Structure 1
């Protein structure tokens, strides 16, 4: 009976003794920032608010291995090299104003509330993905690798550049004008009401809706530009 008890206690120590095995939470109150640079592997939820802070849920990594800091009005999110097992890292980012978002690695970004700004710039590389609702004057997006971007809402103008196997889906983003450059095997879906300029190469594809009355198309390779009604 004593042997059984000792074995049971030893098992509990192994199971609960390592804090990295359990999901934990932390909150960071931050200085003002207007840009976000994130790298590594994580999930990010963007929340418009009246304060700047980050709520983090993490597992299989120590808190001191998580980088969450503001420098020159830019919020940096990343992890240091030392972590083990399947990393779980979810950052809920509260912000007053956002004008720039840079993603590198396997990062997933979601924002269910509209981001309001005169201009929002996005740069995504690697296997990043983003699903956002926008209310901006100008949206500038540059993606590479296997990035996937899904946007809805309103953007008076768009400047879109894609390379590699990137995907940009914006049939639900109402725009007056757009400039699109697509290379590699990238795919673009866009809604434009007035002016559309598109330059495609490789096997890239641009599908558009909205019946713009001004168009300027350039195609090379077997790339295509098609109107979808």
Structure 2
């Protein structure tokens, strides 16, 4: 039986052979290296150009590029792009199941770009989402129901929103800012995100915070708050007696009857 067992030297030799074979395999198969594509890594040229693209039949916008996106609601649909000329092929603008996706085309690795700017023309909207560091803004939007979602350090800002129901979800350190009017407001923050809506007049609001996030809002009738962590909720509203649940060092603070004129 002892003769059937490998010696320590034999074991080390076998391991070295396997390691060497693995190294040779990796060296001889560069296609397996990141990003598992034959498309090259590209760097922005610095020559900024403009491009117009069609986009039809969408009611939602999702941005995952490191970009700024301006939304313009009206009677037309499409996307205008301002970016380095050699990056246009890597910027994908596609409609999938009613959602306009603004993202890198599969397989591209992009480094050292100038700011990518997109203008999205839309007729209707019920969902806005950003991931990563995307920055999305709109001067004016009308949406019976609007869902806003931020994952990462992104930003969404709407200067004048008219909506019956606004639901906002923030995961990470992103921030959402909105002005306007609405009936029902629901806010969920996981992380250190910020929600700023002291000039969005909501009749009813529900705020859930897990972490160190903050929410500032204006409520006219009813407010329900749940905090787990060190998050804070500050609100304007006359005669509001909020329903509050706090686990941790979080706080709920009344700021006054109504916010100052912006």
Does the 8 A contact of 1:61 with 1:83 survive in 2?
Answer: no
Does the 8 A contact of 1:188 with 1:207 survive in 2?
Answer: yes
Shift of 1:214: 4.7
Residue 44 in 1 paired to residue 72 in 2? no
Q: Could you tell me the TM-score, scaled by structure 2's length?
A: 0.77
- Distance in 2, matches of 1:155 and 1:206, equals 19
Alignment of 1:46-195 (within 5 A): 46-59=71-84, 61-80=86-105, 81-113=108-140, 115-132=141-158, 133-195=160-222
- Distance in 2, matches of 1:145 and 1:78, equals 20
> Residues 60 and 176 (structure 1 numbering): CA distance in 2 closer, same or farther, change over 3 Å?
same
> Match of 1:228, SS?
strand
> Match of 1:62, SS?
helix
Specify which structure has the higher proportion of strand.
Answer: 1
Any gaps of 5 or more consecutive residues in structure 2? Answer: 1-42, 257-262
CA RMSD, aligned part only?
Answer: 1.6
> Match of 1:31, SS?
coil
- Distance in 2, matches of 1:36 and 1:100, equals 6
Any gaps of 5 or more consecutive residues in structure 1? Answer: 1-17
Does the 8 A contact of 1:38 with 1:76 survive in 2?
Answer: yes
Shift of 1:183: 1.6
Residue 25 in 1 paired to residue 43 in 2? no
- Distance in 2, matches of 1:118 and 1:89, equals 30
> Match of 1:194, SS?
strand
> Residues 60 and 105 (structure 1 numbering): CA distance in 2 closer, same or farther, change over 3 Å?
farther
> Residues 140 and 157 (structure 1 numbering): CA distance in 2 closer, same or farther, change over 3 Å?
same
Larger-Rg structure: 2
Does the 8 A contact of 1:60 with 1:85 survive in 2?
Answer: no
Does the 8 A contact of 2:66 with 2:132 survive in 1?
Answer: yes
